[in-house]
Structure 1
């Protein structure tokens, strides 16, 4: 008996797996929307199954769940409309005076340090005109190139936003028909373990989604109330947007904080109350909110349920963000949780000798 030696079929399966992984990596741009749509369908499948058990046609149930997800995304985007519509004219009207006021406050200390600074507003204007005259063409070309590249990326995102729900719809309506043949491809001795893994993954994903939803709702109420207490006029839309956008780790919180700072500075400066009150208010509300989310809400409502250590959470966010950008941040935690379940099952199989053949 020699457990180290492997049969030729195992080497063949390993070679086929390596070739398959290479082909998937080579065609990653094509595979990506199918993979994301499969994840979306997997997340929505319990809701679709629940509606189907209540005699709702499966196609209609799948369409309703997808529309609900798209509506949630639209709500988050629409929350930006009142914020931008009020901040844009205020910024256009107050920005020159704000810049002049800040320059008048910063110029004397910089001059005392021996740094060359303009001594008058006329000199500031002259230097700006000189910069525009000498570098305007270069900056314009760079801006145009950025807009072209950004526009191309935007069109790609729009295309994915239309393609992924359509693919998810077909995954959902044919899930029960496609999965049994795929399960038949699994070797018989592994089938029970695979079924157990999928049941555990289903339970874990449900717990993650429920926990994340509670975190978003609690933080939306907290940020709205906190900004209201400090007198922010846009407290409700900014607070709700920040709370709902925390599903995008770091980016949602950062964007909400920037909007709060901008809204507070413009509002309180126009009222002649200075900069300190809005800055202190944002620091207190968002600092306490980050502590609340990081040390209580997410560990209690999400982390403990999916079994991820904080170090694993940080590593997953960094890796998926590097691989897939914004989309990676969105799917990092659920994918990491599923990977944790898979590794646990593989480790148990390894300890039980499932990866070795005996002669």
Structure 2
């Protein structure tokens, strides 16, 4: 039975899609920095265009945009690295004392029920000593050996750190031409619908980025001020980091919470201080989930919280940490596609044709 022209065309497009998927699967480690560079280029392109409209050369505007982004990332690292380096040595000194207090409280309480329960403080102190000091060389050797497992791991690290901003810079220089060349490959009969899809996608992503920046800024101020009112000395670095890290949903909040609780435990050494810090993060999570994200972000892209969790898990499984970073914007693009598919389905003969059910007549 000979195939019709529509069937041949469908098989051809399916074959092209399979080939592209296989190439992406094989080249995934190499394509990661280029994918990140494309995301950065898309995010920074409006800034470059605004600078160009003010008669700033495009090469200079692209360089300024990339430099500004690198400075922001470096500032975040400079905020969080001192917190970690300051808190980790305190673990060896203060955690055993905290455990002694815990023993003084829990041992009599357990004795009332005829149970002998206590924490081996000496063992914990020995473990912390080995963990914090005296084994730097072993840690370095393990790190280097893990990098030597395969060239792809080292290439990914080097690519993300050095190749990504370079590729993003060259993409920004020729962004408009690259977009026009990509559009020229679209068959003329599809160009109108594809352009409409791209315009809607661009609007959704623009709203997402603006809403995400607003949420990050508001939360950074909130956590910094609230932790300072509680009396935490490291309120500024931990608060700013938590606010900026919410760009990675759930994971950023979790890391900030752990850092804040650890700092509160080592600084206050009381349950009250730790509970106050936990209350700050509880209030922040409620405000973010019930007000900020729905008003500034959720309504802009139309993603249900369950869809957000599924997107994070799915993209994280497929692309690792990079997938977690791009899960929400990629889901916003997919949402636009799903809306258009639903609209076509509702207006199609498959949905509209056929006998209509009459109320009260179960046979139809």
TM-score (norm 2): 0.81
* Distance (Å, rounded) in 2 between the aligned partners of 1:354 and 1:165: 49
1:194-244: CA deviation from partner (whole Å, max 9, x where unpaired): 111121222222211111111111111111121122221222221111111
Q: Which runs of 5+ in 1 are unaligned?
A: 133-139, 270-274
How is 1:225-304 mapped onto 2 (pairs within 5 angstroms)?
225-269=225-269, 275-304=270-299
The answer to whether the aligner puts 1:345 opposite 2:344 as a matched pair is no
- Alpha carbons of 1:60 and 1:354: their partners in 2 closer, same or farther (altered >3 Å)? farther
1:321-340: CA deviation from partner (whole Å, max 9, x where unpaired): 22223222211111100111
Asked whether the 8 Å contact 2:312–2:324 carries over to 1, the reply is yes
Matching residue within 132, 138, 148 for 2:145 = 148
Report SS of the residue matched to 2:171. helix
1:59-111: CA deviation from partner (whole Å, max 9, x where unpaired): 21112111222222111111114423543454343233223332343344556
Structure number with the bigger relative contact order (C-alpha 8 A, sep ≥ 6) is 1
Report SS of the residue matched to 2:257. helix
* Distance (Å, rounded) in 1 between the aligned partners of 2:344 and 2:174: 31
Asked whether the 8 Å contact 2:268–2:274 carries over to 1, the reply is no
Asked whether the 8 Å contact 2:215–2:296 carries over to 1, the reply is yes
* Distance (Å, rounded) in 2 between the aligned partners of 1:41 and 1:110: 60
- Alpha carbons of 1:69 and 1:23: their partners in 2 closer, same or farther (altered >3 Å)? same
Greater mean alpha carbon deviation, residues 73-82 or residues 182-191: 73-82
Number of residue pairs aligned between Structure 1 and Structure 2: 336
Greater mean alpha carbon deviation, residues 206-215 or residues 83-92: 83-92
Asked whether the 8 Å contact 1:261–1:278 carries over to 2, the reply is no
Shift of 1:143: 10
1:256-301: CA deviation from partner (whole Å, max 9, x where unpaired): 11121121122222xxxxx222122122100011011111101110
1:326 match: 321
The answer to whether the aligner puts 1:212 opposite 2:209 as a matched pair is no
Asked whether the 8 Å contact 1:76–1:245 carries over to 2, the reply is no
2:221 match: 221
1:136 match: none
Cα RMSD of the aligned pairs, angstroms, is: 3.2
* Distance (Å, rounded) in 1 between the aligned partners of 2:98 and 2:60: 54
Asked whether the 8 Å contact 1:248–1:329 carries over to 2, the reply is yes
Q: Which runs of 5+ in 2 are unaligned?
A: 131-136, 351-364
Greater mean alpha carbon deviation, residues 95-104 or residues 221-230: 95-104
2:50 match: 50
Shift of 1:170: 1.6
TM-score (norm 1): 0.82
- Alpha carbons of 1:326 and 1:240: their partners in 2 closer, same or farther (altered >3 Å)? same
- Alpha carbons of 1:88 and 1:14: their partners in 2 closer, same or farther (altered >3 Å)? closer
2:356 match: none
Report SS of the residue matched to 1:248. coil
- Alpha carbons of 1:175 and 1:265: their partners in 2 closer, same or farther (altered >3 Å)? same
